[in-house]
């Protein structure tokens, strides 16, 4: 992947606590009320056709950290899908600072509080595990538990993967980076290997923290991810 030195720099900034406002410990309190998992602001009218309900479940990269309301990745994806003629409603269940452990705790709760079973889950966690240098084995176990829950409920999943910066060493990076491809193969899930590919390291596409995309960066990610989401929705029919 590209421009890893800047990714490592962003990691150091976060570990220094400059973004402590979006940091959380894995020992999280009880899940938030269902009203916290709401559909994003609608800026593109829904086209004709059956509604395709998608749960976007992740961390700050889904929650829209540092962006105005209506500018998050789930918002942009919903707009793109609707412009492409798909009557998509994306429920944004992104929580800034969530580790895979925190996500695992609230995953079933988020699914239970949707109006119906979603047609697709977008699952994007792992970035905060890297920041905390959590054992890849623990991350894998948490992600596997969520994939098992989705499989039990008969819901297809699309993974947006994360990668470890090389300054954590080849052993950690190899163990961590392999989680996403292994899960995609084991559960026949759609995979976008690295959510920040083509964005991280480009100052024109990133916020000042060098970790979160700005609105232009979100648009770049959306352009790459949307075709895979459309394909995954097609297979879920």
- φ, ψ of residue 53 to 5 degrees: the values are -90, 130
- What is the distance between the alpha carbons of residues 20 and 117, in angstroms, rounded to a whole number? 34
- φ, ψ of residue 32 to 5 degrees: the values are -70, 160
Q: Residue 217: what pLDDT? A: 98
Residues in CB range of 20: below 8 A, 6 or more apart: none
Q: Which residues are catalytic?
A: 60, 209, 212
> Residues 17-58: pLDDT tens digits?
333 333 433 333 333 333 334 344 446 888 888 999 999 999
Helix axes 73-83, 215-235, angle to 10 degrees: 60
Question: Is 176 in contact with 127 (CB distance < 8 Å)?
Answer: no
Residue tagged 């500018």 (tokens): 71
Compute how many other C-beta atoms are within 10 angstroms of the C-beta atom of residue 53: 18
- What is the distance between the alpha carbons of residues 175 and 188, in angstroms, rounded to a whole number? 20
**Does residue 148 register a pLDDT over 80?**
yes
Q: Which CATH superfamily is domain 4-23+34-235 in?
A: SGNH hydrolase (3.40.50.1110)
Q: Report percent pLDDT > 90 for the chain.
A: 78
Q: With CA atoms as reference, report the closest residue to 129 among 58, 214, 221.
A: 58
Question: Is 43 in contact with 60 (CB distance < 8 Å)?
Answer: no
Confidence band, pLDDT 50/70/90 cuts, at residue 101: very high
- What is the distance between the alpha carbons of residues 145 and 151, in angstroms, rounded to a whole number? 10
> Residues 202-224: pLDDT tens digits?
999 999 999 999 999 999 999 99
Range 140-162 average pLDDT: 98
Q: Residue 142: what pLDDT? A: 98
Q: What is the DSSP string of 136-170?
A: HHHHHHHHHHHHHHHHHTT--EEEE-----GGG-H
**Does residue 116 register a pLDDT over 90?**
yes
Domain definitions of the chain by residue range:
4-23+34-235
Question: Is 40 in contact with 74 (CB distance < 8 Å)?
Answer: yes
Question: Is 189 in contact with 151 (CB distance < 8 Å)?
Answer: no
Structure tokens at 163: 């990668």
């Amino acid at each position: 992947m590209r421009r890893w030195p800047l990714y490592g720099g962003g990691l150091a900034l976060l570990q220094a606590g400059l973004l402590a406002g979006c940091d959380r410990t894995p020992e999280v309190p009880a899940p938030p009320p269902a009203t916290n998992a709401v559909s994003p602001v609608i800026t593109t009218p829904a086209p004709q056709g059956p509604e395709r309900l998608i749960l976007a479940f992740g961390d700050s990269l889904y929650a829209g950290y540092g962006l105005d309301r209506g500018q998050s990745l789930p918002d942009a994806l919903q707009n793109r899908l609707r412009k492409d003629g798909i009557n998509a409603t994306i429920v944004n269940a992104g929580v800034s600072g969530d580790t895979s452990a925190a996500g695992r705790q609230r995953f079933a709760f988020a699914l239970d509080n949707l109006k119906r079973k979603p047609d697709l889950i977008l699952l994007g966690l792992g970035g905060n595990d890297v920041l905390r240098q959590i054992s890849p084995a623990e991350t894998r176990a948490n992600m596997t538990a969520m994939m098992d829950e989705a499989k039990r409920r008969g819901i297809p999943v699309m993974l947006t993967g994360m990668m470890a910066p090389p300054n954590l060493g080849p052993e950690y990076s190899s163990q961590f980076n392999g989680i996403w491809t292994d899960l995609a193969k084991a559960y026949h899930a759609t995979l976008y290997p690295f959510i920040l590919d083509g964005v991280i390291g480009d100052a024109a596409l990133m916020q000042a923290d060098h970790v979160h995309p700005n609105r232009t960066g979100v648009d770049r990610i959306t352009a790459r991810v949307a075709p895979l989401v459309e394909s995954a929705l097609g297979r879920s029919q």
